[in-house]
């Protein structure tokens, strides 16, 4: 008796079953009072507008009344609190309607978006008193598109629309619940690479080190000390390429680990329902930190090489090495110096506050005046880019 043929997986590359539109859930979290009333009034319009723009998925917009934080509060606190609600409710994205005024460089803004968290924040005071409902819908639509786009997608371009549609379907689709551990994470990453790349790009990881003043100061101080130490010259000459590479990898891992663990950037899934959200968040966080640290490492290498050529004169360098100096000797010295400087940066990163690290790792993107609705006051900036 022959066994029946194994059933083929009907899902496509996006993880969905053809003919069945997946559902993207955008939760609206509104502060009690006027914000909650507005949220209940615009939920249906927001779902309809999103469905009209992106019919490849089904949109659901539940409304939850929750103050989240006690004023005064900034956008980072609101994003963190909204993400807590997103994970507990198992939403795909969340938009917080708050009556807390938001500012960037002392200027009020309508909204902020944090793609890596999947969270947008809309400030009602900046919407004005006239046409508030329509402006809220327009801005919320822009926030959702900012959360799922790469930042340079053109809705009028068929290729960009197709890519955005694929990312929406990936966002709405959970991997096979039977996969565990590494297999689960690998499937999440392989199926959501475009979405993940957009989240990391929105964080602007190359700016990470610049925002962490203590880590940067410690790295530069350690580099200067290493550069003028004769023992470091001899070690760089004796190590060889593979040892220098090992030290470099270790220094990058050290500072990246100090930032992720020290600031508690790593999330743990509280249930199976939110594993995909948490896996994407952790992957984007680690990628952001690693790229930021590698950017710092490259900058330190260039500075160490220039400093070595300027400060470590040939006769003194040759005397310390015991042989004539060539340009590769300066490259080896710069390599070891920047690795030690990066380790110093890890020590400095331990002195950074958790809030400073989170603000450095996660970029909340304010929009521009040109992106705001036409009848919004020019002094107010909105993030409703497509």
pLDDT of residue 6: 45
H-type alpha helices, the chain:
34-53, 75-89, 132-148, 158-172, 181-191, 193-203, 208-211, 213-227, 230-239, 241-262, 275-311, 314-321, 327-349, 354-361
pLDDT in tens, 282-320: 888 888 888 888 988 998 999 999 999 988 888 888 988
Which H or E element spans position 107? Answer: strand 107-109
Euclidean distance between CA atoms 236 and 65, whole angstroms = 61
pLDDT of residue 367: 43
Which SS3 state, helix, strand or coil, does residue 182 take? Answer: helix
pLDDT in tens, 181-192: 555 455 555 556
Please work out, in degrees rounded to the nearest 5, the angle formed at the alpha carbon of residue 35 by the alpha carbons of 95 and 96. 15
Rounded to 10°, the helix 230-239/314-321 angle is 60
pLDDT in tens, 76-121: 778 888 888 888 888 889 999 888 777 666 667 778 888 888 888 8
Strands 23-30 and 58-60: parallel
pLDDT in tens, 137-182: 888 898 888 888 765 555 555 556 666 777 777 776 655 444 455 5
DSSP one-letter string for 22-44: -EEEEEEEE-TTHHHHHHHHHHH
pLDDT-wise least confident of 5-9, 88-92, 272-276: 5-9
Which SS3 state, helix, strand or coil, does residue 9 take? Answer: coil
pLDDT of residue 72: 60
Average pLDDT over residues 258-282: 74
Euclidean distance between CA atoms 38 and 296, whole angstroms = 45
């Amino acid at each position: 008796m022959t066994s029946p043929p194994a059933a083929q997986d009907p899902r496509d590359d996006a993880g969905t079953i053809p003919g069945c539109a997946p559902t993207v859930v955008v939760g609206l979290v509104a502060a009690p009072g006027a914000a909650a009333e507005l949220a209940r009034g615009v939920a249906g319009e927001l779902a309809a507008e999103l469905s009209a723009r992106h019919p490849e998925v089904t949109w659901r917009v539940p409304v939850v009344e929750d103050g989240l934080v006690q004023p005064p509060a900034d956008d980072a606190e609101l994003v963190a609190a909204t993400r807590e609600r997103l994970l507990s409710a198992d939403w795909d994205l969340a938009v917080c309607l708050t009556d807390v005024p938001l500012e960037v460089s002392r200027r009020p803004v309508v909204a902020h978006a944090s793609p890596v968290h999947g969270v947008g924040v809309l400030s009602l005071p900046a919407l004005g008193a006239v046409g508030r409902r329509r402006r809220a819908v327009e801005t919320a639509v822009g926030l959702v598109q900012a959360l799922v786009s790469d930042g340079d997608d053109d809705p009028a371009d068929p290729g960009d629309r197709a890519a955005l549609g694929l990312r929406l379907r990936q966002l709405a689709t959970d991997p096979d619940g039977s996969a565990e551990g590494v297999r689960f994470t690998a499937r999440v990453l392989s199926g959501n690479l475009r979405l993940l790349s957009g989240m990391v790009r929105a964080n602007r990881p190359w700016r990470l080190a610049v925002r962490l003043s203590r880590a940067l100061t410690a790295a530069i101080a350690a580099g200067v000390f290493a550069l003028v130490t004769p023992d470091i010259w001899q070690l760089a000459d004796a190590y060889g390429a593979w040892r220098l590479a090992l030290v470099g990898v270790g220094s990058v891992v050290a500072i990246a680990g100090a930032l992720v663990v020290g600031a508690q950037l790593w999330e743990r899934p509280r249930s199976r329902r939110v594993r995909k959200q948490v896996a994407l968040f952790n992957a984007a966080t680690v990628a952001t930190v690693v790229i930021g640290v590698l950017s710092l490492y490259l900058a330190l290498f260039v500075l160490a090489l220039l400093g070595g050529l300027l400060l470590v004169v040939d006769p003194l360098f040759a005397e310390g090495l015991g042989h004539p100096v060539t340009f590769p000797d300066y490259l080896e010295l710069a390599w070891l110096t920047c690795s030690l400087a990066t380790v110093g940066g890890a020590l400095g990163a331990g002195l950074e506050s958790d809030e400073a690290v989170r603000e450095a790792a996660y970029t909340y993107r304010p929009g521009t005046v040109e992106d705001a609705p036409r009848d919004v006051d020019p002094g107010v900036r909105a993030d409703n880019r497509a």
